[in-house]
A and B are shown apart, each in its own frame.
Chain A
Amino acid sequence: MLELRLVQGNLLKKVLEAVKDLVTDANFDCSSTGFSLQAMDSSHVALVALLLRSEGFEHYRCDRNVSMGMNLNNMAKMLKCAGNDDIVTIKADDGSDTVTFMFESPNQDKIADFEMKLMDIDSEHLGIPEAEYHAIVRMPSSEFARICKDLSSIGDTVVISVTKEGVKFSTRGDIGNANVVCRQNTTVDKPEESTTIEMHEPVSLTFALRYMNSFTKATPLSSTVTISLSSELPVVVEYKIAEMGYIRFYLAPKIED
């Protein structure tokens, strides 16, 4: 028996909007730790890792570890039917081939059940080792989204370079080239508007902008984004989900032929 009650139901709606374009089908794993997902895109270039910790749920019952295969587009369709202020409960019986999403309006005057068919998914699970990153950039998530969107109108790839001058996002295309430099800026009043750069070594890596733009669909989940870079390691683009966990995107760099 599984029963997970999430008062901030719209978090789940935002999570689905953040991942459904990158991954079609995925196994959601439920354990005493929390509700999690790890899935790669079809070309095995990008990976999404989600964790919603059990403590973040108002009620969390998971009698045994369960893996539930879901089509993310179908799940997003069902969650779109929840109101933004609704409480969402995920329910599944042991051995069942369906999962139920229950939506309760805040004043309990409307309760809806949406039952979705589960699917068998042969998912590949990757071990992601703890790594020391050469540079960690923390910046407003909206700023990062703006830069990725702007640069993708010029070119297909972005070079992210971190030096002691700051973090530089560069692209080039048929019509020309573009560079955006963000400097460390901690003097602003609000911490969510600051940019911090923790650099152990200068690093410069090239990535496909198509994926970066897809990751920025998670922007509504967090006011800040953390970009961790190491030469010859996939970049980690992390959006913290307040009091619950995180959504992390890993993207393999482009490498010299």
Chain B
Amino acid sequence: LMQQGALGNFFVHT
């Protein structure tokens, strides 16, 4: 099963 990734997994908050 595929889960939806989140942007926070790839980009950091600035």
Contact = CB atoms under 8 A, between A and B. Distances in A.
Given A206-B2, A256-B2, A40 B13 contact: no
Contacts of A44: 6-8
Interface stretch (A15-23, A84-92, A124-132): A124-132
A255 B3 contact: yes
A45 B5 contact: yes
Nearest to A251: B7
A125 to B, nearest CB: 5
Contacts of A160: none
A103 interface: no
Contacts of A47: 7, 11
Interface residues of A, number: 25
A127 B14 CA distance: 6
A255 B11 contact: no
B6 A45 contact: yes
A125 B13 contact: yes
A208 B8 CA distance: 17
A194 B5 CA distance: 32
A254 B14 contact: no
A157 interface: yes
Contact of B7 (A126, A208, A255, A256): A126
Interface residues of B, number: 14
Contact of B2 (A126, A127, A232, A257): A257
A46 B7 contact: yes
A25 to B, nearest CB: 17
A48 to B, nearest CB: 11
A127 B13 contact: yes
A140 interface: no
Contacts of A124: 13
B13 A208 contact: no
18 contacts: A44-B6, A45-B5, A45-B6, A46-B7, A124-B13, A126-B8, A127-B11, A127-B13, A206-B2, A250-B7, A250-B11, A252-B9, A254-B4, A255-B3, A255-B4, A255-B5, A257-B1, A257-B3
- Smallest CB-CB A-B distances: 9 pairs: A252-B5, A254-B2, A126-B11, A127-B14, A257-B1, A255-B5, A125-B14, A257-B3, A44-B6
Given A127-B14, A252-B5, A252-B10, 19 more contacts: A124-B13, A125-B14, A126-B7, A126-B11, A126-B12, A127-B12, A129-B11, A157-B2, A206-B2, A234-B7, A234-B11, A250-B7, A252-B6, A252-B7, A253-B5, A256-B2, A256-B3, A257-B1, A257-B3
